[in-house]
């Protein structure tokens, strides 16, 4: 297999067992990605697509034209079979079909919230053909004038953030670039969001306008695949979502923050959640490896940072833990000099969690201090709580909820 395609299909960032993994800061993957005999073309870069064509005997002089044709059919028209590609010769379509697919993740389940939020449980092949399939969740959040798709980067998560439901799950493996891009294609399939979709209003805009890498996993621990996937998503001749409308969220993997700015160039969000190291060590154990001072230094140096390209700092509101007015004032001082927006997130409960959401009155007082200091401080409206699709709630069905947990979840939804 040519080197470029081998690197694409591997889709794994090497993780070694270190003192950090043993101390509970990070987890190691339990399984690995195994490439199918017929790989999908979804998620391949233009260069890798050209190599794939070369592998089946397409002359080099045709590569640029053929890559553009494939790119259009996959990312503009949403083709799910080579037979749909009417401007590609039957002979080439047959060759492509013999060696490749256009497969995306399989939709195992779909849930629709009372607020219109949709959550898909997506099934991926496991390491062993006879073993348990891997599963991730992807969430679509409609709003006035925009639609945001929350995309996963790992099966499970490398980290152990104590307030996050996904953090209680094991790390099974990293997703490939194709599996990350595939989530977006699946969402467009389900929402009928392709260029040739039939609508009553021909001027209707796209339903998916924004992408956030805030689903399952820590994106910067799967850097190469996330980078390659987001560059495909941002390509103007394909999916065409502007880098200004793509946000990558990290818990603070400091060494890869600068790389994200230089090599991907999307908007950055940082899960901060505390203003002092002792508390953040508990909430975000990664802080023991990359403390607040190092994290904020990396943020100040983020490539392209400006008032027009601010960093979003996410701050989950936990009653009696991090929501005092003194902490609001400390947060303002901590971020001084960084072009920033501070996104206050009411804690989204999940069965077994040890935390409670701050009172609304306290959230408003906290927000007012930040706003008066000159920072935008929107309070994120919880969406999809009733289907466990809100921020911090994602956890694949690879780890099923017990009947008691389901009852607790329903009770939470009814009291919100």
Residues that are catalytic = 137, 391
Tokens describing residue 167 = 């953090």
Spatial CA neighbour of 206 closest among 216, 226, 192:
192
| DSSP helix/strand/coil, 363 | helix
Length of the chain: 416
Which parts of 151-264 fold into alpha helices (H)? 177-191, 223-234, 254-263
Tokens describing residue 55 = 């592998």
Spatial CA neighbour of 84 closest among 95, 70, 98:
70
> In angstroms, rounded to a whole number, what is the distance separating the alpha carbons of residues 19 and 315?
28
> In angstroms, rounded to a whole number, what is the distance separating the alpha carbons of residues 154 and 296?
25
State the sign of the Cα–Cα–Cα–Cα dihedral 188, 190, 191, 196.
Answer: positive
Q: What is the DSSP string of 38-61?
A: S-B-TT--HHHHHHHHHHTT--GG
Cβ atoms 386, 113 nearer than 8 A: yes
């Amino acid at each position: 297999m040519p080197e470029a395609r081998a690197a694409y299909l591997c889709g794994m960032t090497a993780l070694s067992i270190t003192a950090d993994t043993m101390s509970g800061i990070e987890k190691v993957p339990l399984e690995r990605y195994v490439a199918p005999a017929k790989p999908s073309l979804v998620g391949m870069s233009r260069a890798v697509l050209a190599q794939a064509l070369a592998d089946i005997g397409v002359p080099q002089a045709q590569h640029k034209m053929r890559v553009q044709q494939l790119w259009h059919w996959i990312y503009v028209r949403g083709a799910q079979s080579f037979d749909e590609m009417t401007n590609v010769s039957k002979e080439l379509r047959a060759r492509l079909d013999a060696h490749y697919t256009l497969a995306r993740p399989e939709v195992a389940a779909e849930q629709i919230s009372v607020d219109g939020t949709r959550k898909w449980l997506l099934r991926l092949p496991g390491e062993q053909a006879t073993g348990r399939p891997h599963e991730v969740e992807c969430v679509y959040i409609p709003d006035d004038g925009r639609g945001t798709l929350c995309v996963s980067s790992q099966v499970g998560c490398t980290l152990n953030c104590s307030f996050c439901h996904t953090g209680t799950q094991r790390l099974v493996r990293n997703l490939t670039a194709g599996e990350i891009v595939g989530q977006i294609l699946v969402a467009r399939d389900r929402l009928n969001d392709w260029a040739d979709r039939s609508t009553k209003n021909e001027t209707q805009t796209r339903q998916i306008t924004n992408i956030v890498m805030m689903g399952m996993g820590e994106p910067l621990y799967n850097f190469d695949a996330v980078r390659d996937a987001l560059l495909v998503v941002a390509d103007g001749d394909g999916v065409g979502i502007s880098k200004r409308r793509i946000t990558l969220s990290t818990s603070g993997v400091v060494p890869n923050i600068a790389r994200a700015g230089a090599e991907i160039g999307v908007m950055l969000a940082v899960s901060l959640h505390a203003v002092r190291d002792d508390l953040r060590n508990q909430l975000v154990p990664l802080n023991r490896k990359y403390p607040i001072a190092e994290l904020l230094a990396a943020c100040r140096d983020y490539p392209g940072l400006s008032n027009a390209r601010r960093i979003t700092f996410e701050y989950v509101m936990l009653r009696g833990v991090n929501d005092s007015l003194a902490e609001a004032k400390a947060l303002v001082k901590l971020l001084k000099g960084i072009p920033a927006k501070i996104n206050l997130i009411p804690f989204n409960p999940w069965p077994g969690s040890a935390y409670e959401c701050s009172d609304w009155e306290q959230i408003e007082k906290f927000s007012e201090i930040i706003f008066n200091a000159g920072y935008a401080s929107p309070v994120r409206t919880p969406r999809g709580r009733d289907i466990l699709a809100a921020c911090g709630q994602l956890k694949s069905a690879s780890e099923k909820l017990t009947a008691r947990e389901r009852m607790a979840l329903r009770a939470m939804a009814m009291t919100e």
